[in-house]
Chain A
Amino acid sequence: MADIISIAKSIFENQKAEMIIGYAKATKEGRTRPVVVRTLDEVKELVLNSFCLNNLSTYLTRKENKGKRVAIVAKGCDIKAIVQLIAENQIRRENVYVVGVKCSGVRRGFEGHDSTKIAEKCITCNVKTPHLFDELVEMKGEELPGTDEKAESIVKLEQMTANERFAYWEEQFERCIKCYACRQICPLCYCERCIADKSMPRWIETSPTKRGNFAWNIVRAFHLSGRCIGCNECERVCPAGIPLSLINRKMAKVAKSEFGYESGMDPNAPTLIGTYDVKDKEDFIR
């Protein structure tokens, strides 16, 4: 299997794309940063290792990248987002050249996270070998330790009464500073005008108060239900350390158990939220 740099070279040489979104070394060891390369000279910047955490598909829906033929380095989890974007008619399959990464798992995060451990999403990953790609590249990784503590937390939350659960989230959302980093990093938060930014009428209070924070986080959870592909970027970037994966994973769990739907798997499957079916069962919210 060719390495990332030779793959990138051949993409430009064979004019498969006009730009490549990939990973480069950051200024600090043990960290990478996204990079956009546009020329053969720049491809030497590209790297691929277990510190390649970012889900780069968030750049695909940028205004300036729309309609362009873009190559992207994507792990299985990131490809789920690409699949979902195709299914939701946000990008066209023929406009994106996917360099799929055969991945053995990435680390939990950069600063403030335990980077010696494997990311929780990798423990239950079902797309270590990508399910949609134009070309494959292998990430040479090492075995990383770590357990999926969030799975236990979800079970604990399920066992709580509604009031206890409310109190739990009240405490978590209290810390929210309304920077909207969760939205900005999210590949599926692609609305040109987010509901949180609308002021006439104002649906969501901009104040980071209890009420405004609840409104924002709950609305976002609903908007991602049946859509979130579990890349967990929102939780990684939250400067206030809110465990957003607990909500997103729970909603994905419900989508699976109640509708047999898993987002980001099949670009041709009808989306859960965007599909009307007279046979929809309605008793799930009872």
Chain B
Amino acid sequence: MEEYVISLEGIKGLLENLTREGFNIYAPSKNNDRFVKVKDIDEVALFPDRRPTDISAKECLFPKCEPVFYYKREKNNVEIVDIDPNGNKVLFGLKPCDAASFTIIHKVFNWDYKDKFYNKRFDNSLIIGLACTYLDDYCFCTSVGLSPVSTVGSDILLVRLSDVSFGVIVITDKGGQLVKRYPQLFEKGEPTKSKQVLDSIGGPARKFDHKKVKEWLDNNFETDFFNSIGDICVGCGQCTFVCPTCHCFDIVDEDYLYSEGRRMKNWDGCQFYLFTLHASGHNPRDTQYKRYRQRVNHKFKYYVDRFQEVLCTGCGRCSRGCPVSIDIGDIVSRISKLS
């Protein structure tokens, strides 16, 4: 892996150049609630020690809502107007737990059906990660195979060396080409320097073995374990919406008129009663504990079975924001001790 050093001014210059190339820059908003399109590059700040944004970066590539096509109908004629999700994006300043999410959900969006909307956005994006120095009681990235300095998912990873200077670790070809395009902004760095910084960043206190979680889930579908969670979970689904890896969506037609309308793809979540309600009236997940059990199983068992990947980056958003203080890190680490 090649290493460089870039100054804070250099980063701004880089973003200005990329804007000129036609990229839209997305970075954490001022109040850290989500990733937003940057209007003024001078406002971009790098905070490795800030907690993850309230809503994850997944919406940059998998938006909360998007039209899939428009249709027009006239007598027996139906005209379909396709939509091209074009636009080049730079996702900037992602924590490793956000950057890695794209590597994980990439698999499901390229499985039995290749999702052209997600894929096109992904192909046209450049992901610039930032090694993270924020740790709290809800983080557990090291327990799901990542770390605060993980390079998974980033094209280049920035490492804060000082207030004005950042180490640059090149990870993918895309990242390498970026450095080649703007050689004047990058100095050749000493690999040891970022490594020292990286080594000094510890990991979160919460630690468990995700293989043990799966081992127990493999053998315990019918269980009382989730009952007390079902008692208090209100089924609001904020956990699924703020999650960087939850990827369920719903397809609905919105009819303006009989003669024309659009088909929409909107986020959906397994914590809702309606999610599995059949037209017959039967609901296989009719109570909240079953819905919570599904979320844990999907993340730590089903996705691992199918894609050999845990569907969780340990960012802790679901637990931080849970209105009834359900802490998934606590739940899965308790499960890991049961097997």
Interface-facing stretch out of A27-35, A89-97, A120-128: A27-35
Bound complex: CA A271 to CA B267 (Å):
37
Interface centre among A185, A205, A207, A208, by most chain B C-beta atoms within 10 angstroms, is: A207
Bound complex: CA A223 to CA B55 (Å):
28
- Which A residues are in CB contact (< 8 Å) with B327? 26-28
Does A110 have its Cβ within 8 Å of any Cβ on chain B? yes
Does A241 have its Cβ within 8 Å of any Cβ on chain B? yes
Distance from B280 Cβ to chain A, minimum over Cβ atoms (Å): 15
- Which B residues are in CB contact (< 8 Å) with A239? 54-55, 238, 241-242, 321
Query: Which residues of B (290-339) have their CB < 8 Å from a CB of A?
Result: 319-321, 323-327, 329-330
Does B41 have its Cβ within 8 Å of any Cβ on chain A? no
Does B83 have its Cβ within 8 Å of any Cβ on chain A? no
Nearest to A201 among chain B residues (CB) is B255
Number of residues of chain B lying within 8 A (CB) of chain A:
40
- Which A residues are in CB contact (< 8 Å) with B324? 33-34, 54
Bound complex: CA A205 to CA B263 (Å):
12
Knowing A178-B267, A207-B254, A207-B266 touch, does A241 contact B234 (C-beta < 8 A)? no
Could you tell me if B274 and A197 are in contact, using CB atoms closer than 8 angstroms?
yes
Knowing A197-B274, A206-B250 touch, does A179 contact B238 (C-beta < 8 A)? yes
Contact of A112 among B54, B65, B228, B272 (CB under 8 A): B54
Nearest to A238 among chain B residues (CB) is B238
Could you tell me if B236 and A54 are in contact, using CB atoms closer than 8 angstroms?
no
Could you tell me if A177 and B323 are in contact, using CB atoms closer than 8 angstroms?
no
Knowing A36-B228, A58-B234, A180-B237 touch, does A241 contact B323 (C-beta < 8 A)? no
Does A152 have its Cβ within 8 Å of any Cβ on chain B? no
Interface centre among B31, B65, B234, by most chain A C-beta atoms within 10 angstroms, is: B234
- Which B residues are in CB contact (< 8 Å) with A32? 325
Could you tell me if B252 and A181 are in contact, using CB atoms closer than 8 angstroms?
no
Nearest to B255 among chain A residues (CB) is A202
B246-281 interface code vs A (CB 8 A; 1 in, 0 out)? 000010101000000000101101001010000000
Query: Which residues of A (21-48) have their CB < 8 Å from a CB of B?
Result: 26-28, 31-36
B59-95 interface code vs A (CB 8 A; 1 in, 0 out)? 0000011000000000000000000000000000000
Does A209 have its Cβ within 8 Å of any Cβ on chain B? yes
Bound complex: CA A32 to CA B267 (Å):
29
Could you tell me if B65 and A208 are in contact, using CB atoms closer than 8 angstroms?
yes
Bound complex: CA A36 to CA B232 (Å):
7
- Which A residues are in CB contact (< 8 Å) with B102? none
Bound complex: CA A237 to CA B326 (Å):
13
Contact of B252 among A35, A185, A207 (CB under 8 A): A207
Does A147 have its Cβ within 8 Å of any Cβ on chain B? no
- Which A residues are in CB contact (< 8 Å) with B173? none
Nearest to B241 among chain A residues (CB) is A179
Does B235 have its Cβ within 8 Å of any Cβ on chain A? yes
Could you tell me if A64 and B287 are in contact, using CB atoms closer than 8 angstroms?
yes
Bound complex: CA A111 to CA B53 (Å):
12
Bound complex: CA A64 to CA B235 (Å):
14
Bound complex: CA A205 to CA B250 (Å):
12
Could you tell me if B236 and A179 are in contact, using CB atoms closer than 8 angstroms?
yes
Distance from A117 Cβ to chain B, minimum over Cβ atoms (Å): 17
Distance from A215 Cβ to chain B, minimum over Cβ atoms (Å): 12
- Which A residues are in CB contact (< 8 Å) with B329? 27
Knowing A178-B64, A178-B267, A239-B242 touch, does A110 contact B234 (C-beta < 8 A)? no
Could you tell me if B321 and A111 are in contact, using CB atoms closer than 8 angstroms?
yes
Could you tell me if A179 and B323 are in contact, using CB atoms closer than 8 angstroms?
no
Contact of B237 among A27, A31, A179, A202 (CB under 8 A): A179
Could you tell me if B65 and A33 are in contact, using CB atoms closer than 8 angstroms?
no
A112-154 interface code vs B (CB 8 A; 1 in, 0 out)? 1000000000000000000000000000000000000000000
A178-217 interface code vs B (CB 8 A; 1 in, 0 out)? 1111011100000000000100001001111100100000
Distance from A65 Cβ to chain B, minimum over Cβ atoms (Å): 9
Does B208 have its Cβ within 8 Å of any Cβ on chain A? no
Does A262 have its Cβ within 8 Å of any Cβ on chain B? no
Distance from B338 Cβ to chain A, minimum over Cβ atoms (Å): 17
- Which B residues are in CB contact (< 8 Å) with A233? 323
Does B138 have its Cβ within 8 Å of any Cβ on chain A? yes
Could you tell me if A31 and B325 are in contact, using CB atoms closer than 8 angstroms?
yes
The interface of chain A, by Cβ under 8 A from chain B, is 26-28, 31-36, 54, 58-59, 64, 110-112, 175, 177-181, 183-185, 197, 202, 205-209, 212, 233, 236-237, 239-241
10 contacts between A and B (CB under 8 A): A28-B327, A33-B324, A59-B231, A111-B320, A179-B240, A197-B274, A205-B254, A208-B65, A236-B323, A240-B33
6 extra A-B contacts, CB within 8 A, seeds A177-B64, A206-B252: A28-B325, A58-B234, A175-B34, A179-B237, A185-B234, A240-B54
The interface of chain B, by Cβ under 8 A from chain A, is 31, 33-34, 54-55, 64-65, 137-138, 228, 231-232, 234-238, 240-242, 250, 252, 254, 264, 266-267, 269, 272, 274, 287, 319-321, 323-327, 329-330
- Chain A to chain B: the 4 pairs with minimum beta-carbon distance, closest first: A181-B236, A33-B325, A184-B236, A237-B323
